[in-house]
Amino acid sequence: MDKCPWCGGELLVREYGCRRCGVRIIGEFRQNKFANLDEELLKFIEVFLVNEGNISAVGEELGWSYPKVKSMLRRVIEALGYEYKGEVESSRLELLSKFERGEISFEKLLELLEKL
């Protein structure tokens, strides 16, 4: 959580503590952008980095399709506060996802991809 549930202001961490020895560090600490990502996105980022951004390798390791990996990459980009710039790519991925789910035929997929 990075926003106050009451007023929407920025939340700051005011204290860190050691579980082992009990030492406390008090101050005002800002969290980085990654601190607010959920576990699924953090795991994806870790696998993405270990595989040097190779989408096929990421998909293979996680058991995900190419469109799912691209979709997760888009979620990370947007969760970090950046604008996703791959709208044409996004449209292609959505079409591939529809084909994968059996919502459109192969012929319809080809027809729609040609229009992009």
53 and 106 co-located in one domain: yes
65 and 13 co-located in one domain: no
pLDDT of residue 87: 63
Please write the tens of the pLDDT for every residue from 46-74: 999 999 999 999 999 999 998 899 889 99
44 and 89 co-located in one domain: yes
Contact call for residues 44 and 72 (beta carbons, < 8 A): yes
Q: Which domain holds residue 74?
A: 35-115
Please write the tens of the pLDDT for every residue from 13-51: 899 999 999 999 999 988 888 988 999 999 999 999 999
27 and 56 co-located in one domain: no
Q: How many domains does the chain have?
A: 2
42 and 8 co-located in one domain: no
Radius of gyration of the chain (CA): 20
Distance CA 92, CA 86 (A): 10
Closest CA relative to residue 59, chosen from 79, 73, 76: 73
Closest CA relative to residue 29, chosen from 41, 17, 39: 17
pLDDT of residue 88: 62
5 and 46 co-located in one domain: no
pTM to 2 decimal places: 0.59
pLDDT of residue 36: 81
Name 105's Cβ contacts closer than 8 Å, sequence gap at least 6.
99
27 and 39 co-located in one domain: no
